[in-house]
A and B are shown apart, each in its own frame.
Chain A
Amino acid sequence: MSYLLLKALHVGADFIWISGLLALALTLAQVSPTGRTPAEARLLIAMRRWDGLVTTPAMALALALGLTAASMGGWFPAAWLLIKIALATALAAFHGVLSGIAGRLEADANRAPPRWLGYAGVIVIAVMLALVALAVLKPG
């Protein structure tokens, strides 16, 4: 597989991962703190299903293709790449945290979502912008 094709697939998988993560973050931020309406409960179930079937596999693919492209392109151990990997790891961890919270909220209808979830979408966007900047500018 050519390097450019690998990069194209990596970018495509990234889009699917980030858009799914953003949708999950925004959904969780909108959940009522007391009780769930039937519509909210259905939305939570649908988001968790999408996360398991689409967003998480896209994340694994994005990371696998990214690491392979970096290895094929001979980018190791450039500083920008190491920072990018650290940020991708942090985003994967954040994905796990949101996924876990979604499971808790779905299992317990009376559980209030953490208040910091209001910033979750901003966090995803900020990390994504940093990842894009590092990939395009390759500073250093």
Chain B
Amino acid sequence: MATETTALATEIAELDRLRWASWAEATTLLALLFVAVPLRHIYGLREATQVAGPIHGLAFLLFVLALTRAASGYGWTGGETLRALIAAFLPFGGFVNERRLRRRQAELAAKAKG
């Protein structure tokens, strides 16, 4: 019982990391698309995308690392993993991922208590 509770706590912590990564990926994608790209094309500020692009790129790569780590560590199906990955390419998709992960965490927390 104690071992199962520890395993659930570890999984909840892993999902916490993935939630943060989803949130960072989604936020930087929106900043890139709706702030940096208009600044570049309307005001000719190339620096906006030169800064926002790599920041989003890094956030995306860290999301990929966190996603594959959680998926392989906790036996996600290929469909679940692919759905989360595709959502990350869409504006606001990362927030959908984050909400789904929060629900999963709540389920695990209830299981740990019950």
Which residues of chain B come closer than 8 Å to A41, judged between CB atoms? none
What CA separation (Å) do A76 and B69 show in the bound complex?
29
Question: Are B54 and A96 within 8 A (Cβ)?
Answer: no
Jot down 11 A-B pairs with beta carbons below 8 A, ordered by A: A67-B54, A68-B54, A92-B64, A93-B68, A96-B70, A96-B71, A96-B72, A97-B69, A99-B72, A100-B71, A107-B10
| Contact residues on B (Cβ < 8 Å of other chain), bracket | 20 to 34
Question: Are A101 and B72 within 8 A (Cβ)?
Answer: yes
Which residues of chain B come closer than 8 Å to A71, judged between CB atoms? 50-51, 53-54
Q: Within residues 13 to 62 of chain B, which ones have a CB less than 8 A from any CB in chain A?
A: 14, 50-51, 53-54, 57-58, 60-62
Tally A-B pairs: CB < 8 A. Answer: 77
Kindly state whether residue B12 has any CB partner on chain A within 8 Å.
Answer: no
Q: Within residues 51 to 96 of chain B, which ones have a CB less than 8 A from any CB in chain A?
A: 51, 53-54, 57-58, 60-62, 64-75
Q: Identify the closest chain B residue to A93 (Cβ).
A: B68
Question: Are A99 and B73 within 8 A (Cβ)?
Answer: yes
Kindly state whether residue B106 has any CB partner on chain A within 8 Å.
Answer: no
Kindly state whether residue A104 has any CB partner on chain B within 8 Å.
Answer: yes
Question: Are A101 and B73 within 8 A (Cβ)?
Answer: yes
A93-B54 CB under 8 A given contacts A99-B73, A101-B72: no
Kindly state whether residue A110 has any CB partner on chain B within 8 Å.
Answer: no
CB distance from A20 to the nearest CB of B (A): 13
Kindly state whether residue A10 has any CB partner on chain B within 8 Å.
Answer: no
The secondary-structure label for the interface of chain A is helix
Question: Are B53 and A63 within 8 A (Cβ)?
Answer: no
A70-B54 CB under 8 A given contacts A93-B64, A96-B68: yes
Question: Are B73 and A85 within 8 A (Cβ)?
Answer: no
Kindly state whether residue A58 has any CB partner on chain B within 8 Å.
Answer: no
Question: Are A63 and B61 within 8 A (Cβ)?
Answer: yes
CB distance from B59 to the nearest CB of A (A): 10
Which one of A68, A92, A101 contacts B61 once the chains associate, using CB atoms below 8 Å? Answer: A92
What CA separation (Å) do A46 and B48 show in the bound complex?
42
